[in-house]
Amino acid sequence: MAGLVTAGRRVALAVALSLLAGAAVASQRFAAEGEIEVAFAPRDDTEKVVIELIRSARKSLEVQAYAFTSRSIADALVAAQRRGVRVEVLADAQMNRRGKGNAIGRLLAAGVPVAFETRYNAAHNKVIIVDAEGPRCALLTGSYNFTWSANNRNAENLLIVREHCELARAYRANWLRHRKEATRVSTLPWRGD
C-alpha cells in the first residue's frame, strides 16, 4: 500500500503545494518558544521599550509602520544604521506622505531605505523584526504606532517575542512580500502620482 496517501498526508501535501505556488493559507502555527515581553501605553514607557529593542539589533531591522511621528524611534533607527545594522522601513503611504510632523523625513535624510505601501487601503502593520536569522532574534508587534500619541495618549499594547527565530523569519517573509509591492521613497512630501 505504498501508493496509498492518508488524509493527513493529503492535507500536508496540499499545504506544501499551496505554499510553493504562493497561494494563501489559513494561518501558520508555531510551538511556543523564547521569551515574551508586553507593555501597555500609556501606563508603561512603551517608546523606551521600542528604543531598547532597536538598540539590541546587531545585524538587521525590518520595520512596518502605519503612522510614524516619533522622532526618538526614528533617531534610534538611524543610530542602528550608523553602527552597521541593515535598517529598512515600510510605511503606509496615506499616513506618511506629508513632511510636516512625520519622522520618515529623518530616516530619509540619514539614508535609511524607506518604501511606501500603496496596494492596500491601510497598511496597518506595526512590526519590528530584529536579527531574524538569530541567534538573538526578536519580533515586536501589537497595536502600538510609532507616534507620540501612541506613547502618551492612546490605550495601546505591544508584544515582543524574543529568541523565537522561526516566528521572526515568518514575519520577515511577510515583510519581504510587502516590500516587493511597495514604492521606494526618496523625499517628503510624497505624491505618488
- Give the pLDDT band of residue 169 (cuts 50, 70, 90): very high
- The one catalytic residue in 131, 164, 178, 193 is 131
| Beta sheet of 127-130, edge-to-edge order | 35-41, 156-162, 138-142, 127-130, 60-65, 86-92, 114-117, 183-185
Are 33 and 146 in contact by the 8 Å Cβ rule? The answer is no
CA gap 87, 74 in Å, rounded = 11
Q: What pLDDT shows up at residue 154?
A: 94
This prediction's pTM? 0.84
- The one catalytic residue in 44, 59, 75, 124 is 124
Between these two residues, 9 and 3, which has the higher pLDDT value? 9
**Domains along the chain with CATH numbers:** 34-185 (3.30.870.10)
Are 41 and 152 in contact by the 8 Å Cβ rule? The answer is yes
Poorest-confidence range of 25-29, 44-48, 58-62?
25-29
- Give the pLDDT band of residue 121 (cuts 50, 70, 90): confident
Mean pLDDT of 135-160: 94
Q: Is 164 among the catalytic positions?
A: no
Q: pLDDT at residue 100 above 90? A: no
DSSP string, the chain: -TT---HHHHHHHHHHHHHHHT---S-------SEEEEEEETTS-HHHHHHHHHHH-SSEEEEEES-B--HHHHHHHHHHHHTT-EEEEEEEHHHH--STT-SHHHHHHTT--EEEE-SSS-----EEEE-TTSSS-EEEEES--BSHHHHHTS-EEEEEEES-HHHHHHHHHHHHHHHHHSEEE-SSS----
- Give the pLDDT band of residue 8 (cuts 50, 70, 90): very low
Q: What pLDDT shows up at residue 26?
A: 77
Q: Is 126 among the catalytic positions?
A: yes
How much of the chain exceeds pLDDT 90, in percent?
69
Q: Which amino acid is at 172?
A: R
Q: pLDDT at residue 17 above 60? A: no
- The one catalytic residue in 126, 164, 178, 180 is 126
Q: pLDDT at residue 150 above 50? A: yes
Q: Is 100 among the catalytic positions?
A: no
Q: What pLDDT shows up at residue 32?
A: 84
Q: What pLDDT shows up at residue 4?
A: 42
Q: Give the chain's largest Cα–Cα span.
A: 69
Q: What pLDDT shows up at residue 21?
A: 52
CA gap 39, 1 in Å, rounded = 54
CA distances from 173 to 62, 114, 192 (A): 11, 18, 25
- Give the pLDDT band of residue 188 (cuts 50, 70, 90): confident
Q: What pLDDT shows up at residue 164?
A: 95
